[in-house]
Amino acid sequence: MHNIVGRFFTLLTLTVALLLGSAMAQPTGTPDAEAFRDAFLAGNLSWDDVLERAAEEGEVVWAHWGGSENLNTWIDTVVAPELAALGVTLRTSRLTNTRDAVDLVLAEAAADKGVGEGSIDGIWINGENFFTLSSQGLNFGSFADLVPNAQYIHFDPNNPASGPNLFDFGYPTNKEEMPWSGDQYMCAIDTARLDRADAPSNFEELEAWLRANPGRFTYVRPPQFNGNTFVQTVLYALNPDGTSFQPFQSSADEISPEEFIRLATPAYEYLQRIEPFLLGGGGADGQRGSPIYPEDQNALEALFVNGEIDMACRFGMYNTAVAVETGRFPETAENVIFPESGMIKNKNFIGVPVNAPNPAAAMVLANLLASPENQLSKLGAIGYVMGIDADLLSPEQQAQIDEVAPSLMGITYDELGAATVPDTNASLVGIIEGTWIEFVERRTGSLEEVVQRVYADR
């Protein structure tokens, strides 16, 4: 009996200690983190100093979208050991949505956590998430051209090739984020079900095909980035002035609501019009049914793989190739150029928030991810496009690119290049997704009302 009592109390004590301990395990701020940041950004530190400090810090927390097993595997098998060799333990936080990491940084900043006191060191980030951090001044600083592997990235503002590195969704990066990867919005078809010849190549053909074959297509639900990008693509294609992406490069402050309404009306009306012919739709004009918009690209692909839709559009230049290789897609899957008017291409980055708990390790992480070896490995192993600029690599490395790059499954780089367009301005993203939710999904009002409301709320 006494044994039981003894065990009970031990368990109780341990439990209480565990709870107290974990509740109190807050990151402690270091005043010399400030000093490190100032010194590093001023260029006063050598890379060896940074490495030394990183080994002292001992770990780095990287928050990234965790929905790709391949990426998770690559990170754990390639990146983690390399960092461990430098004395830094990699801790990854797998997000369902990058916005969660941004929210956390915002919350910590509101709680006055400064340099060295937060909980995230690096975020796989771009677009409106980076915009949110930047506009609140929550980036670590202009570190991207201060790390050794910056030599493989164009940062010279006079060089047009540095555009994608200096502007993220039209918003200046200020070199506060390090290019890591990139991607292009691609559509995959299963040639066993849909011939290449029959596949639509622009939105008029898509609508015709949908009316003839209702229920064989859908797109990811905004505000998930794959859904947003689809809506952006429609906006470009149905731009009444025919200027495609140009007007959407201006920020939300520069485009009045009325102007946006004028530019966006054909596109949003199109999206409303085709709703009955999407998966789950009623199949005829006026019969809306329950159109099914999958939550993310994995759900979209599951519908594709299950034979419910014949075309799946998502970011992923080499996604089809990798999916066929890993058994996810049927062997007859291929890519198509859709729409010809423009498939959005962008870069994504590693951003470092201002309250990174391990700033030196964050620098080391960003640098390591941008090394040519890792970029090539990433491309070959899991088909993630390189973020560094190929023309700055050595001829041997450039030859390697051709070797390891997966197949484009039925289209060519030239075709892709001809159809490439950029994202909209970062500040427009919220407006575009808000309008879709209110106008297309919820039907809360006319387009004019909805856009005015969304503009007012932002």
Partner 1 sequence: MTTTTPEVRPSRKKKNLSNDRLGPFGRFYVTLMVGGVLIPFIPLIIGSFAFRWTWPDLLPSKWWWEARATARLPQGWDYIFSPVSRVVESTGNTILIALIVTAICTIISLPAARVIAREKFRGKSFIEFFLLTPLIIPEIAVGLGILVTFIQLGLAGTYAGIVLVHLIPTIPYMVRVLTSVFQGLSRDYEEQARVLGAGPLQTLLRVTVPMILPGIIAGGLFAFLISSNIFLLTFFIGRGQIETLPTLLFSRVSGGGALDAVAAGVALIVCIPGIILLVITERFIKEEVFAKGFGG
Partner 2 sequence: MASASSQQPIRTPRRPLRELMRRFYVPLMLAPVVITIGVLFVGALFVALLQSFGHAPLYGIQEFPTLKYYRSLFQLPGFWSSVALTFYYAIVPTIVGTILSVYLALALRKTFRGKGFVQFIYKLPLMIPYLVGVAVTIVLFGNGGIVARSLFALGIIDSTGDFPRLIYSHAGWGIMFVYVWKQVPFTTLIVYSVLMGLGRDSEEAAATLGASKWQTFWQVTLPQIMPGIVSATIIVFAFNFGSFEIPFILGGGFPNTLPVEAWRAFEDADYARRLRAMAIVMFIGLMSGAVLFLYLWTYRRFERARGRQ
What residues make contact with partner 2 under the rule CB under 8 A?
97, 110, 214-216, 221, 223, 280, 290-293, 303, 305-308, 430, 434, 437, 441-444, 457-458
Cβ 350 to partner 2, closest distance in Å?
Answer: 24
Q: Which of partner 2, partner 1, none does residue 72 bind to, with CB < 5 to 8 Å depending on kind?
A: partner 1
210 and 276 Cβ atoms separated by less than 8 Å: no
Of residues 343 and 440, the one with the C-beta less far from partner 2: 440
Of residues 247 and 291, the one with the C-beta less far from partner 2: 291
Query: What is d(CA 223, CA 296) in angstroms, rounded to the nearest whole number?
Result: 10
Told to check if 3 binds partner 1 by CB under 8 A, we report no
Fill in the per-residue mask, 86 to 125: x = in contact with partner 1 (CB under 8 A), - = not in contact.
-------xxxx---x---x--x---x-------x------
Cβ 324 to partner 1, closest distance in Å?
Answer: 9
- Say how many CA atoms lie within 13 Å of 134 toward its Cβ: 22
Fill in the per-residue mask, 275 to 294: x = in contact with partner 1 (CB under 8 A), - = not in contact.
-------------------x
- Say how many CA atoms lie within 13 Å of 441 toward its Cβ: 17
H/E element, 344 = strand 343-351
Cβ 177 to partner 1, closest distance in Å?
Answer: 21
Query: What is d(CA 137, CA 428) in angstroms, rounded to the nearest whole number?
Result: 19
Q: Which of partner 2, partner 1, none does residue 280 bind to, with CB < 5 to 8 Å depending on kind?
A: partner 2
Cβ 51 to partner 1, closest distance in Å?
Answer: 26
Q: Which of partner 2, partner 1, none does residue 22 bind to, with CB < 5 to 8 Å depending on kind?
A: partner 1
Cβ 213 to partner 2, closest distance in Å?
Answer: 9
Told to check if 418 binds partner 1 by CB under 8 A, we report no
210 and 277 Cβ atoms separated by less than 8 Å: yes
Fill in the per-residue mask, 319 to 338: x = in contact with partner 1 (CB under 8 A), - = not in contact.
------xxxxxxx-------
Q: How far is CA 355 from the centre of its chain?
A: 22
Of residues 200 and 215, the one with the C-beta less far from partner 2: 215
Query: What is d(CA 386, CA 15) in angstroms, rounded to the nearest whole number?
Result: 48
Cβ 23 to partner 1, closest distance in Å?
Answer: 4
Q: What is the DSSP string of 121-181?
A: SEEEE-HHHHHHHHHTT-B--S-GGGSGGGGGS---TTSGGGHHHHEETTEE-TT-EEEEE
Q: Which of partner 2, partner 1, none does residue 326 bind to, with CB < 5 to 8 Å depending on kind?
A: partner 1
Interface with partner 1 (CB under 8 A), residue from 32, 38, 56, 76: 76
Told to check if 299 binds partner 1 by CB under 8 A, we report yes
Query: What is d(CA 419, CA 341) in angstroms, rounded to the nearest whole number?
Result: 6
In terms of DSSP bridges, do strands 167-168 and 343-351 run parallel, antiparallel, or are they unpaired? Answer: unpaired
- Say how many CA atoms lie within 13 Å of 89 toward its Cβ: 4
Of residues 99 and 262, the one with the C-beta less far from partner 1: 99
Of residues 309 and 356, the one with the C-beta less far from partner 2: 309
Q: How far is CA 28 from CA 56, 104, 117, 252, 303, in A?
A: 15, 17, 6, 39, 46
Query: What is d(CA 5, CA 3) in angstroms, rounded to the nearest whole number?
Result: 5
383 and 314 Cβ atoms separated by less than 8 Å: no
Amino acid at 39: A
Query: Of 360, 285, 372, 450, which Cα lies nearest the Cα of 122?
Result: 360
Q: Which of partner 1, partner 2, none does residue 381 bind to, with CB < 5 to 8 Å depending on kind?
A: partner 1
Q: What is the DSSP string of 420-456?
A: EEPPPPHHHHHHHHHHIIIIIIS--S-HHHHHHHHHH
Cβ 326 to partner 1, closest distance in Å?
Answer: 6
Cβ 135 to partner 1, closest distance in Å?
Answer: 22
Q: Which of partner 1, partner 2, none does residue 291 bind to, with CB < 5 to 8 Å depending on kind?
A: partner 2
**Residues of span 377-416 touching partner 1 by CB under 8 A:** 381-382
Q: Which of partner 2, partner 1, none does residue 293 bind to, with CB < 5 to 8 Å depending on kind?
A: partner 2
Of residues 196 and 442, the one with the C-beta less far from partner 2: 442
Contacts of 380 (CB under 8 A, 6+ apart): 403, 404, 405, 406
Q: Which of partner 1, partner 2, none does residue 69 bind to, with CB < 5 to 8 Å depending on kind?
A: partner 1
Q: How far is CA 15 from CA 5, 6, 132, in A?
A: 15, 14, 40
Query: What is d(CA 201, CA 199) in angstroms, rounded to the nearest whole number?
Result: 6
Cβ 113 to partner 1, closest distance in Å?
Answer: 10
Question: Where along the sequence are the contacts to partner 1 (CB under 8 A)?
Answer: 1, 4-5, 8, 11-12, 15, 18-20, 22-23, 25-26, 66-67, 69-70, 72-74, 76-77, 93-96, 100, 104, 107, 111, 119, 294-296, 298-299, 301-303, 305-308, 325-331, 381-382
